[in-house]
Amino acid sequence: MIKLGVNIDHVATLRQARYADMIDSPNCEPDVLSAASACERAGAHGITVHLRADRRHIQDRDVFRLRASIMTKLNLEMGNTPEILETALRVVPDEVCLVPENRQEITTEGGLHVAKHFKALKQTVDRLHSAGIRVSMFIEPEADQIEASAASGADAVELHTGAFANVLADFKEDELDRLDASARLAKEKGLVVNAGHGINYDNVHMLKKIAHWNEFNIGHSIVSRAVFVGLEQAVRQMLERLKG
């Protein structure tokens, strides 16, 4: 079965909308730790959070508290900056997923250009590895990015599924072919193959046709459904779709 990492950034987005300046208030809600526990109770295989440079949703203390409390695994998404890297080395998540980060974007937009930033990324991979942290590269499904990721020593790639999610139905098969070829190449190179961005309850069945997936990281769609059915139920419904 494809594993499910639930991205709970949007739980923190909701909290920050009201309590950004009062994070210690007893009224402060929704609680990110309770959200992580609900996902785990429902059977999620991991919890994913993105510590952004502007701290717009997840805060440092969330990451440290999650590290101490979650029972599955913590996947920390982060841009490759010295400040965030030092934090990651103190938190010691199970995995780091290196992502590009642009302050103006609403969510992570493109994949990381591993070939272009190879030297800096390789140094970060080495530092994370020396702390015992597995490393994944969030990349476009392109051969040169996969080859550069493998050469950097990364353990995994997370293929960006945003283009697949956003194209009209007629072009979905083309995007699936691109993802399929990339997943195969990544596997051949010895990389663990994950996917994320824009995966939802309606499109997940198409992605499932591709072999080699290890894990999907899904946030927006699950948290959106949770508004209506609750987080545990939303996670269970996604896990049902990942089976088989």
The residues of the shown chain that bind ligand PXP, judged by CB under 6 A, are 7, 9, 50, 77, 97, 99, 107-108, 138, 158, 196-199, 217-221
Decide if 57 is catalytic.
no
Q: Out of 10, 50, 57, 160, pick the active-site residue.
A: 50
Q: How far is the CB of 85 from ligand PXP (least distance, A)?
A: 17
Residue 197 in tokens: 């961005």
Q: How far is the CB of 22 from ligand PXP (least distance, A)?
A: 25
Q: Which residue is nearest to ligand PXP (CB)?
A: 196
Q: How far is the CB of 109 from ligand PXP (least distance, A)?
A: 9
Burial (0-12, 13-18, 19+ Cβ within 10 Å), 220: middle
Burial (0-12, 13-18, 19+ Cβ within 10 Å), 236: middle
- Peptide bond preceding 30: is omega within 30 degrees of 0, i.e. cis? yes
Q: Are 138 and 158 in contact (CB under 8 A)?
A: yes
Q: How far is the CB of 64 from ligand PXP (least distance, A)?
A: 20
The one-letter amino acid at 174: D
Cβ nearer to ligand PXP, comparing 50 with 150: 50
Q: Out of 77, 158, 175, 215, pick the active-site residue.
A: 77
Cβ nearer to ligand PXP, comparing 21 with 46: 46
Q: How far is the CB of 135 from ligand PXP (least distance, A)?
A: 13
Residue 43 in tokens: 């059977």
Close Cβ partners of 92 (under 8 Å, ≥ 6 residues apart): 67, 131, 132, 133
Cβ nearer to ligand PXP, comparing 46 with 219: 219
C-alpha–C-alpha distance, residues 4 and 48, integer Å: 10
C-alpha–C-alpha distance, residues 153 and 155, integer Å: 6
Decide if 212 is catalytic.
no
Cβ nearer to ligand PXP, comparing 7 with 145: 7
Cβ nearer to ligand PXP, comparing 172 with 220: 220
Residue 47 in tokens: 């919890």
Decide if 77 is catalytic.
yes
Residue 101 in tokens: 């980060």
Which residues are identified as catalytic? 50, 77, 197
